[in-house]
Amino acid sequence: MTTEVDFYELLEVERTADEATLKSAYRKLAIKYHPDKNAGCKDHEAKFKAINEAYDCLKDPQKRAAYDRFGHAAFKNGMGGGGGHGAQPDFGAFSDIFESVFGEFMGGGRGGQRQQRRGADLRYDMEITLEDAFDGTTTEITVDVSGHCDSCEGTGAKPGTKVSQCKYCGGHGKVRAQQGFFVVERACQHCNGAGETIDEPCRDCRGEGRTDKTKTLKINVPPGVDEGTRIRLQGEGEAGARGAPAGDLYIFLHVKKHAIFEREGTNLFAHAPISFTTAALGGEIVLPGLDGEKHVVKIAAGTQSGREVRQRGAGMPVLQGRGRGDLVVELVVEMPTKLTAKQRELLEEFRSTETGDECPQATGFFAKLKAALG
């Protein structure tokens, strides 16, 4: 009895390997075991064929899904059953593999029950302020959406009448037809895949089981949300036809630009102008935060323009977590544009006492410039 080597082991990759990893591993092994490089070596030739077989299977998403579930039996006649020379392939068993793997995408498996077509998901874009994102908020929105018909309670049938099982598909919503070795499955043309027929449609919804409605919904926005945060309201999307489940409503949040603060993750950034005397002598400024607190920013003597001062824990709250980010204040030194006579006199006096040590960067720059120019 021949032992079958696992395709993933042949390619020396994990079962979770992506397409790029598979391709890279295959190329490496194909070069190593190629017959042109190993002339006359039967073992290498057999390994080369096995590698190609493994890659041909795993590079195809459908074949790989079948292999992951059933192994080598997925590609054997009759799912590994007997049968000698001249036996015909058991396509029925092979069809069962793909029906069980991909049945969800084809409208269900062999359970004999039709799958109701769920209503569509909807998107709603909502704008909030940075303060709302900080504190969280509760608001109401109004959306136009299809809902289950009140007259027929979503059945699509005229009140007082019943919905009948489709006699052509037996309520499956699909029919099968044999074409050679293959069984082709398609939606039933008589009930359009619903599995049911309506003799007398509801007048209000014309048999759809749903009508246009306007809903008012309460939205709870938690603290810490950011641009693009998505809130899901389950079952608040489009109603499904004839009583099928409704889809979901997704609220996409957009944060308005703030006059003072810019946000990056959980950190807040602000630019604060300070006078040149405060920058030179040191001091402090008070900056109101989104939390309503007054944050005192200490300024060291000799502060240069562009220096950043960080206030730990004064930023945005962590969404569905604990703690807060930081507040980062960039200090911008502002030069005076208007001076009184007294101020000018004092500055002139200061300039007359300068030695060059007060501004080492400027002194060093001009010293380098002078040396460079000879």
CATH number at residue 21: 1.10.287.110
If asked whether residues 13 and 89 sit together in one domain, one would say yes
Instruction: Report which DSSP code applies to 199.
Output: S
Q: Report the distance separating Cα 365 and Cα 137, nearest Å.
A: 54
If asked whether residues 238 and 180 sit together in one domain, one would say no
- 57 appears as a binding residue in the annotation: no
Angstrom CA distances, 17 to 57, 67, 288, stand at 14, 14, 51
Q: Report the distance separating Cα 202 and Cα 163, nearest Å.
A: 11
pLDDT at 179: 63
Identify the band that residue 242 occupies on the pLDDT scale cut at 50, 70 and 90: confident
Identify the band that residue 126 occupies on the pLDDT scale cut at 50, 70 and 90: very high
Does the residue 298 lie in any domain? yes
Identify the band that residue 76 occupies on the pLDDT scale cut at 50, 70 and 90: low
322-352 pLDDT per residue, tens: 899 999 999 999 999 999 999 999 999 999 9
If asked whether residues 27 and 67 sit together in one domain, one would say yes
pLDDT at 180: 60
Longest dimension (CA), the chain: 113
Question: Which residues are CB-neighbours of 299 under 8 A, at least 6 positions away?
Answer: 274, 278, 279, 282, 283, 284, 285, 309, 331
If asked whether residues 140 and 268 sit together in one domain, one would say no
Q: How many domains does the chain have?
A: 5
- 169 appears as a binding residue in the annotation: yes
Instruction: Report which DSSP code applies to 68.
Output: H
If asked whether residues 245 and 318 sit together in one domain, one would say no
Q: Which domain holds residue 182?
A: 162-199
Residue 70 has pLDDT above 60, yes or no: yes
Tell me the residue type at 282. Answer: G
If asked whether residues 227 and 329 sit together in one domain, one would say no
Does the residue 67 lie in any domain? yes
Choice between 92 and 352, residue whose per-residue pLDDT is larger = 352
Identify the band that residue 88 occupies on the pLDDT scale cut at 50, 70 and 90: very low
Backbone angles phi and psi of 237, in degrees to 5 = -90, -155
Q: What is the pTM of this model?
A: 0.59
**DSSP annotation string for 280-320:** HH-EEEEEE-TTS-EEEEEE-TTPPTT-EEEETT-SPBPTT
138-165 pLDDT per residue, tens: 999 999 998 989 888 888 888 988 888 8
- 359 appears as a binding residue in the annotation: no
If asked whether residues 243 and 326 sit together in one domain, one would say no
Does the residue 342 lie in any domain? no
pLDDT at 276: 92
Does the residue 2 lie in any domain? no
CATH number (domain holding residue 333): 2.60.260.20
Angstrom CA distances, 205 to 121, 146, 164, 217, 242, stand at 20, 10, 18, 23, 10
Q: What is the mean pLDDT of the chain?
A: 83
pLDDT at 110: 41
Identify the band that residue 81 occupies on the pLDDT scale cut at 50, 70 and 90: very low
pLDDT at 33: 83
Q: Report the distance separating Cα 5 and Cα 213, nearest Å.
A: 59
Comparing C-alpha atoms, which of 331, 290, 323, 289 is closest to residue 307? 331
- 202 appears as a binding residue in the annotation: yes
If asked whether residues 27 and 84 sit together in one domain, one would say yes
